[in-house]
Amino acid sequence: MIPFGQVLDLDANEFHDLQADPNKVVKVQGLVRELLEGNPARQLGIKQQIIEDIGQSALPGLISATYVLVDNLKNERQRELLADIIYAVSLDNPSAALLLLKAGIIDNPVWAGQQIIAQVVQRLGLGGLAIEETSFLLKEAVKHAEIDDREVAVILFECLLPLGIGVKEALKVCTDWLKTKYKIDAPVSLISALLNAAPEETENTLSLLLRHIERDNKDRSQTFSSIIEFTTLNTVQGAIRSGSQRLSIERTGRAKPVEFLFMGCIARYIASHEADIEVLDQFINAGNFNSGILRYWWQALSTAVKLKSEGAKRNFEHCLSHLVDQEACLLACIQLLYIVEQDASTKAWARQLLQDVKQSNPALYQNAVDEKAKHKRKDNNHEDDDGTGLSGIR
Amino acid sequence: MRRENGFGLLLGRGHNDISKPQQYKLNGKGSELELRIFAGDQPPVNGDLTQIYPTLLYQGRFRVPLGKIYPDGTKVWLQMSYPVDSEHKMPETSIWIDTEDNFIRTLRYEELSEEK
């Protein structure tokens, strides 16, 4: 509804569909085409013309342009330019968000167009929507998930979850999707949105994901570890607990999904949050976790060293200078042997550290060399074809 | 009609009149065909459809069950025409798949808005 005070305000539009004024839609689409084909100076002029002269009533035409001019959107800069204009004409219009979601995402027949509108909706937020509107969107999200229109379902959930809406439904959708043989991208994107929206549920959410990936499935593991990003210490701790749960059901105590969780998501987190390394080190050593977790933790630290983490280097140095925990020291030495072999930028540092261990504790050094050789033999003989051993991961 | 890239002309007027079924290919394996239909200005004589893209308005989509799974690249024939001897003033679309005699069904234009 238009507020009473704005009834005579031509810019206070209430939108229902894209075809209310076809002439204006065609006019705006023509301007968008000129915009996309024009030089930067001309683009600025057209942008101003759409935002200032046409204003909010340009929105249906702009959305429709994402249907018909998507082939003209050749690069990221052009997509951002169009998204900026759509965002500008949608601001301060309470009807805009719903039209963007309905016509721009749910009904949009072009995937690339949906992505542009999703970007705008995420910038706008859905805070102004009424309960019946968010209920409608949640029903649409579930419906599109059921008919396997996964892109639309993920976009709608990504908009609703930050409002605390749809957590239960999104978890169910993830479970159903993970049971199928489709690509894992959509459920992982949804899990990523769930982790951001409900970090306190990290352990349950990630357990769901890890449970549904086979122990030796490298492709699925690699996909999720490249998409999911942890942003808080609590979520990493929840992830470690879920990894331990997953390992506990494996006879060998190893599993690709857990390995990739540590080598990808957790390694990236500790490389960019060095102050948390010590806290996580204590968390893992003090916690009652599956024994495999300690091995994966040292692999994560090793990966973080390769990502230029000084904090991870200090953790190696601290462990090997105090020699308190024999198992941790052995795992640290094995990782250093791999670094010497494989990472040119840090191998001098690793070699020096190993040299110190060799002098101070030759038995430990020899043990690490023997363990590494054992893993390498296994790998060469394909005895351990899940590749989750220390040698298999590189 | 939206293609994987760009649009295809299903129904024209005057020099663009199309009376024969047009041949396309499935762009992926599937048991359903999704048709997304647009209406716009008459294309220029040289047939360059890109010139009329800014005039296109979305009419709706059909999801047509094909009865079984067909592989990527399977031939599809589409014909949009005005029905003869009918009260309907709107065009309808006929679909064949795999072989020219494997008729799937004819869709009325009104069905577009139902699928929208």
Whether residue A144 sits in one domain with residue A121: no
Q: What's chain B's average pLDDT?
A: 85
Whether residue A81 sits in one domain with residue A14: yes
Predicted complex ipTM: 0.85
Please state, in angstroms and rounded to a whole number, the distance separating the CA atoms of residues A281 and A156. Answer: 38
Q: Is the pTM value of this prediction over 0.95?
A: no
Which two three-digit tokens encode residue B40?
């716009």
- Pick B26 or A324 by higher pLDDT: B26
Residues of B in contact with A30 (CB under 8 A): 54-55
Last residue of a domain, which of A125, A150, A177?
A125
Please state, in angstroms and rounded to a whole number, the distance separating the CA atoms of residues B115 and B83. Answer: 21
Question: What is the predicted pLDDT for the residue at A126?
Answer: 81
Q: Count of CB atoms within 10 A of residue A242's CB?
A: 23
Domain count within chain A: 2
Note down the domain range covering A16: 1-125
Of residues B5, B38, B116, nearest to A68 (C-beta): B38
Whether residue A101 sits in one domain with residue A29: yes
Whether residue A193 sits in one domain with residue A170: yes
Question: What is the predicted pLDDT for the residue at B16?
Answer: 61
Cβ–Cβ of B57/A64 closer than 8 Å?
Answer: yes
Please state, in angstroms and rounded to a whole number, the distance separating the CA atoms of residues B112 and B60. Answer: 5
Q: pLDDT tier at A254 (50, 70, 90 boundaries)?
A: confident
B61 close contact with A: CB closer than 8 A: yes
pLDDT, tens digit (0-9, with 9 covering 90-100), for B43-58: 888 778 899 999 999 9
Tell me: pLDDT of A390 over 50: no
Q: pLDDT tier at A1 (50, 70, 90 boundaries)?
A: very low
Cβ–Cβ of A29/B61 closer than 8 Å?
Answer: no
Q: pLDDT tier at A274 (50, 70, 90 boundaries)?
A: very high
A23 close contact with B: CB closer than 8 A: no
pLDDT, tens digit (0-9, with 9 covering 90-100), for B31-40: 889 888 999 9
Whether residue A192 sits in one domain with residue A147: yes
Residues near A377 by Cβ (< 8 Å), separated by ≥ 6?
none
Cβ–Cβ of B38/A67 closer than 8 Å?
Answer: yes
Residue A105 near residue A122 (C-beta atoms within 8 A): no
Last residue of a domain, which of A197, A221, A242?
A197
A221 within a domain of the structure (yes/no): no
Residue A341 near residue A351 (C-beta atoms within 8 A): no
Whether residue A61 sits in one domain with residue A179: no
* Phi and psi, residue A147, nearest 5°: -90, 15
The pairing of beta strand B75-81 with beta strand B57-70: unpaired
Which two three-digit tokens encode residue B101?
């005699």
A 37-66 residues inside an 8 A Cβ radius of B: 64-65
The pairing of beta strand B57-70 with beta strand B30-39: antiparallel
A376 close contact with B: CB closer than 8 A: no
Whether residue A52 sits in one domain with residue A121: yes
Whether residue A130 sits in one domain with residue A117: no
Please state, in angstroms and rounded to a whole number, the distance separating the CA atoms of residues A214 and A309. Answer: 31
* Whole-Å CA distances, A332 to A93, A242, A305, A316, A338: 58, 23, 12, 6, 10
